């Protein structure tokens, strides 16, 4: 009687692994792209939930106003002026570095205190800043830039008695001010007169590229 040939068991795992490996190598870029898209969607969804103000700034009758819409409107109305201001601040800061002009925190705080006293106190200062949409830190940054300009342009400015007399003649109410206060105002005027020519010269020498 013929003996039946026994079928030996051959493990299919190596063959399966080989098939999977070939499939992975063939479609690897697609798999990676798919996983990347899924992760991006999950992260974006999380951001929308937890950082809604990054995407939506207001909702009116269930209709959102997006951050992009707000940016576009602001850019249309104020973009050029704000950009020019930022460019000027960059140029002034760079020039301060070149000329080794430094403004300390104490100097900024002292100037801020002067402004506060002129306005009538801290509450009046806070109201003035709020009405302009400026934070205290932004105000300090502006004061720092102003002091840098005064140090750079004011170092060669002299205010004579003739300048003081001319200022009082043009501003009769100034006669009640002290001579030092008047000199300070005349000095500020002379700095302002020099500023536009100076900043335009810095712009001409700088390499500036605008994209809006």
Write the pLDDT tens digit of every residue in 18-41. Answer: 555 555 555 556 655 566 666 665
Q: Which residues in 48-73 are b (16+ Cβ under 10 Å) and which e?
A: eeeeeeeeeeeeeeeeeeeeeeeeee
CB of 147 closer than 8 Å to CB of 108: yes
**Alpha carbons 61 and 72: distance in angstroms, whole number:** 21
In order, the DSSP letters of 63-76 are EEEEHHHHHHHHHH
Residue 77 gets which letter from DSSP? H
| Radius of gyration for the alpha carbons in the chain, expressed in angstroms and rounded | 34
Q: Which residues in 170-207 are b (16+ Cβ under 10 Å) and which e?
A: eeeeeeebeeeebbebbbeebbeebbeebbeebeeeee
**Alpha carbons 76 and 74: distance in angstroms, whole number:** 5
CB of 147 closer than 8 Å to CB of 162: no
Phi, psi (deg, nearest 5) at residue 161: -65, -35
Question: Which residue in this structure is represented by tokens 């700088």?
Answer: 206
What is the average per-residue pLDDT within 70-88?
Answer: 83
Question: Which residue in this structure is represented by tokens 């104020």?
Answer: 78
Confidence of residue 9 (pLDDT cuts 50, 70, 90): very low
Token couple for 166:
């001319």
pTM above 0.85, yes or no: no
The pLDDT tens digits for 86-96 are 999 999 999 99
User: Which of 208, 174, 11 lies closest to 91, judged by CA?
Assistant: 208
The pLDDT tens digits for 111-164 are 999 999 988 999 999 999 998 888 999 999 999 999 999 999 998 888 888 888
Residues in the chain: 212
């Amino acid at each position: 009687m013929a003996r039946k040939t026994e079928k030996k068991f051959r493990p299919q795992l190596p063959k399966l692994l080989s098939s999977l490996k070939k499939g992975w190598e063939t479609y690897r870029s697609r798999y990676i792209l798919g996983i990347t898209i899924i992760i991006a969607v999950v992260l974006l969804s999380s951001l929308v939930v937890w950082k809604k103000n990054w995407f939506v700034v207001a909702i009116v009758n269930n209709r959102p106003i997006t951050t992009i819409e707000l940016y576009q409107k602001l850019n249309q109305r104020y973009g050029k002026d704000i950009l020019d201001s930022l460019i000027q601040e960059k140029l002034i800061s760079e020039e301060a570095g070149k000329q080794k002009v430094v403004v300390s925190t104490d100097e900024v705080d002292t100037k801020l205190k002067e402004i506060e006293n002129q306005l009538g106190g801290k509450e009046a200062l806070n109201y003035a800043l709020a009405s302009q949409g400026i934070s205290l830190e932004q105000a300090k940054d502006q004061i720092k830039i102003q002091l840098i300009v005064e140090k750079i342009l004011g170092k060669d400015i002299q205010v004579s008695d003739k300048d003081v007399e001319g200022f009082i003649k043009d501003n009769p109410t100034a006669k009640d001010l002290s001579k030092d206060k008047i000199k300070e105002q005349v000095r500020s005027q002379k700095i302002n007169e020099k500023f536009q020519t100076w900043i335009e010269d810095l712009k001409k020498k700088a390499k500036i590229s605008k994209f809006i």
